[in-house]
C-alpha cells in the first residue's frame, strides 16, 4: 500500500481509467466519493460549534448560522476531492463486491440477501 504525500491516505485500490469506462463502475465510484465527502462534512461540522461568531467580521446571527451546514459540506467535498481519508476506496470495493454477489445470485435465481445470509 502506498501513502499519499499530503494526508497519508491510502491510494491503492482506486479505480483506473479502464475501470471507470464502465458506466456502472463510474457511478459506484462517484457514489463512494460522495459518501466520503458527506462523512467528512459531518466530521468537520462540530468544529464550527466552538467558533465564537458574534465577534467575527460578519457578526454571527441567524444568517451565518444557516450557512454553516453548507460550509461544512463544501469543506468535506473539498477534502474528499483531494485524497480525503481514503474512505471512498473500501466503500467502492464493498459496493463492487455486493454488485457481483447480486449478479451471481440473479444468475442462480436467488436474491443477494439469501446469498449473504449464514
Mean pLDDT of the residues in the chain: 80
Cβ proximity of 53 and 68 under 8 Å: no
Mean pLDDT along residues 8-13? 52
- 13: which residues sit within 8 A by CB, 6+ positions away? 89, 90, 92, 93
Question: pLDDT tens across 52-68, in order?
Answer: 777 766 677 777 778 88
Report the pLDDT value the prediction gives residue 108, as an integer from 0 to 100.
81
Cβ proximity of 76 and 38 under 8 Å: yes
Question: pLDDT tens across 25-53, in order?
Answer: 899 999 999 999 999 999 998 888 777 77
pTM above 0.85, yes or no: no
Cβ proximity of 99 and 24 under 8 Å: yes
Amino acid at each position: 500500500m502506498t501513502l499519499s504525500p499530503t494526508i497519508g491516505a491510502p491510494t491503492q485500490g482506486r479505480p483506473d481509467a479502464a475501470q471507470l469506462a464502465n458506466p456502472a463502475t463510474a457511478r459506484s465510484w462517484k457514489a463512494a466519493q460522495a459518501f466520503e465527502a458527506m462523512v467528512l462534512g459531518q466530521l468537520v461540522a462540530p468544529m464550527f460549534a466552538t467558533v465564537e461568531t458574534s465577534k467575527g467580521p460578519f457578526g454571527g446571527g441567524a444568517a451565518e448560522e444557516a450557512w454553516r451546514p453548507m460550509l461544512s459540506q463544501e469543506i468535506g467535498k473539498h477534502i474528499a476531492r483531494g485524497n480525503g481519508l481514503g474512505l471512498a476506496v473500501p466503500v467502492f470495493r464493498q459496493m463492487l463486491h455486493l454488485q457481483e454477489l447480486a449478479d451471481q445470485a440473479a444468475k442462480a435465481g436467488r436474491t443477494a440477501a439469501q446469498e449473504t445470509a449464514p
